[in-house]
Structure 1
Amino acid sequence: MEENKLIKLIAIDMDGTLLNEQHLVTDKVKKAITKASEAGIRIVLCTGRPVQAVYEYLKELELPQDEEDYVISLNGTVVQKTTTWEIVYSHELNHDHLKQAERLIEPFEMNFTYFDEKEYYYTGAPTEMLQFDADLLGMEKVHLPLEKLPHDLTVFKAMYVASETELDRLASSLPSFIVEYFYPIRSLSYVLELLPKNANKGEALTGLATKLGFSMDEVMAIGDGENDLDMMKVAGTSVAMGNAVDSIKQVAKHETKSNQEDGVAHAIYEWAIQN
């Protein structure tokens, strides 16, 4: 058996990974995270969610433990301390580029949404998929057309939200400026995200590890979706959930059980604190 590397930081995706299909953290997963923390391993939630939709889970997991605990939100565009919510790292989107991207929704039944640090904004008439997404995050959506966007409002991430069919139609005809101005990623069947050009979970995780004085060989990443691909590539120990998409399983060094089978707990015991 290959000798386990000494893991000092575990980055854990939330939806489809930390959370089961009922959007809950199971007792077995909580216990494993507690044991990892007690062993001196730093736990960092690394999610596409805005931090507003992470608060309750940090509290449930009793994170933070100290002043050097962090959360990576909005798919790597923001890194914050979980004690003071100080932003220690961020990328933002250009307002003019947002307006160009928003015009693409005109032939479709979809919403253009965007986030600052705390709010979930949207344009157009709300669709069922928009309400579903807001409910999933436990957030109140705020209607704010881009022509009324305050010049000093910092936007970290934007999204197209629609049915899978509508989003497929949009994705098949994206103009070149989308790739030029943004880092687009299909994080869910009904969500196409537009991140700042150089932002992703892998880049944020690498920066945070460096700040904490850890090498990437001392980092474990656990995830399931396309938006986890970048952190899988940079982590010394990468673990795909049993329910992960094929592209994640192909890149990850290990595969754990699914999110319905306490896969995060299994990964922590098997590859982080086994020794």
Structure 2
Amino acid sequence: MSDAPIHPIRFVLSDMDGTLLHPDHLPSQRTIDTVRALREMGVFFSLASGRPPKAMLQMVEAFGIDIPVAGFNGGTLINPDGSILVAHHLPAEAALVALALFSGVAEVEVWVFADGDWLRRDVPGPMEPREAAGLGYGPVVVKSFEPYLDRIDKIVAASLNAPLLVELEARLQPKVQGLAQVSRSQPVYLDVTAMLANKGDALRTLAAHLGVPLEQTAAIGDGGNDPAMFHVAGLSIAMGQAEEVVKRQANVVTGSNVEDGAAQAIERFILAPRSTL
């Protein structure tokens, strides 16, 4: 972990999987206690995840979050009472292009998130149990994605073949440029969302909602969808197990998620400086 000049931080926006959570999809007691200490010192704390909002509720409760959170990579901002603050759907044109590219590709499972549900069309694959364990619920099987084209929150190509997803990302980017965001939230997940469905815009919106200047915000993450908020935050923190391309875009690099790297960084760069104010 390297040192970096920072402003007094008043709002922290953190990724969930691979950042706050261990591989078993649960936070350590140290991480829970560190977030509690943040909130006791008057620092706002919230979550930004590729997960659907309803798959974030358990962690919202665990961390005692009482401000809006960002699901679908920032595509949907949800108030504490469950009402929607902001929602951005994927344009149908971009959805059709992505589905056409992904469909029929061996080793790739194609999922659509719409109407609050996780939708699957084809036979289940090896990635489905992993996703169900992380979300806490399973998919709804549909005959076609066509009825949902006007209200898709996210399309996911999932595969244990990470290099294949890198190739698909490179092929899809130019086809949907200006229409959609394409990023790998983790090496085994390729996400397609609306242009404004990104964690950078989510950070801007939440900071404005809270009345916090961007230079007094911090962002923590590990995936390819996290640099969008790194570029906006006053302090950006990459997890130790993140890919090098992600680490290079952060101000500092902390320990891995299994080492409670998020807690380490919060303690060192946010809590410790505030304790001397």
> Which of 222-231 and 139-148 deviates more?
139-148
Q: With structure 2 as the length reference, what TM-score do the two structures score?
A: 0.89
Question: 2:225 aligns to what SS in structure 1?
Answer: helix
Deviation at 1:133, TM superposition (A): 1.9
Q: 1:230, 1:175 → 2: CA distance?
A: 16
Give the structure 2 partner of residue 113 of structure 1: 111
Query: Contact 2:199–2:225 at 8 Å: present in 1 too?
Result: yes
Distance apart, 1:62 and its partner CA: 2.1
**Structure 1 position 80 matched with structure 2 position 78:** yes
**How far did 1:175 drift?**
7.5
Shift of 1:116: 2.6
CA distance change for structure 1 residues 229 and 172 in 2, over 3 Å: closer, same or farther?
A: closer
Task: Determine if the alignment matches structure 1 residue 163 to structure 2 residue 165.
Answer: no
Q: How does 1:180-219 map to 2 (within 5 A)?
A: 180-219=178-217
TM-score calculated relative to the size of structure 1: 0.89
Deviations 1:198-243 (A, max 9, x none): 3210111111101211111110111111110111111001111122
Report deviation, 1:99. 3.0
Once the two structures are TM-superposed, the CA of residue 191 in structure 1 deviates from its matched residue by: 1.5
Q: Is the 8 A contact 2:73 2:225 kept in 1?
A: yes
Q: Amino acid of the residue matched to residue 32 of structure 1?
A: T
Equivalent of residue 54 in structure 1, options 34, 47, 56: 56
List runs of 5+ in structure 2 lacking aligned partners: none
* 1:100 correspondence with 2:100: no
What are the within-5 Å matches in structure 2 for residues 32-47 of structure 1? 32-47=34-49
**Which residue number corresponds to residue 22 of structure 1?**
24
1:111 and 1:123 in contact (8 A); partners too: no
Kept in 2: contact 1:240–1:256 (CA 8 A)? yes
| Cα pair 1:111 1:162 within 8 Å, conserved | yes
> In structure 1, what is the Cα distance between the partners aligned to 2:29 and 2:267?
14
Q: Please list the CA deviations of residues 101-153 of structure 1 after superposition, one character each: whole Å capped at 9, or x if unmatched.
A: 212234413332121352111222221123322232222101224455257x6
Q: CA offsets, 1:244-269, max 9 Å, x none?
A: 22122212112222211121211111
Runs of 4+ in 1 over 4 A off after TM superposition: 1-4
Q: CA RMSD in A?
A: 2.2
Matched, 1:7 2:4: no
1:273 aligned counterpart, secondary structure: helix
Query: Quick one: which of 242, 245, 255 aligns to 2:243?
Result: 245
Measured after TM superposition, the shift of residue 16 of structure 1 is 0.8
Counterparts of 2:189 and 2:129 in 1: how far apart (Å)?
13
Number of residue pairs matched?
269
Instruction: Give secondary structure in 2 for the equivalent of 1:132.
Output: helix
Q: Which amino acid in 2 is paired with 1:40?
A: G
Contact map agreement 2:169 2:183 (CA 8 A) in 1 = no
Instruction: Compare 105-114 and 228-237 and name the one that shifted more.
Output: 105-114
CA distance in 2, matches of 1:121, 1:257: 35
Distance 2:75 2:169 in 1: 22
Q: Given the superposition, is the C-alpha separation of residues 99 and 125 from structure 1 closer, same or farther in structure 2, using an over 3 Å criterion? A: farther
Q: Which runs of 5+ in 1 are unaligned?
A: none
Q: Which one of the candidate residues 87, 90, 98 is aligned to 1:90?
A: 87
Cα drift, residue 160 of structure 1: 1.3
Structure 1 counterpart of 2:134, which letter?
Answer: L
Q: Is the 8 A contact 2:91 2:180 kept in 1?
A: no
> Which residue in the other structure is 2:68 paired with?
70
Higher mean C-alpha displacement, 256-265 vs 37-46: 256-265
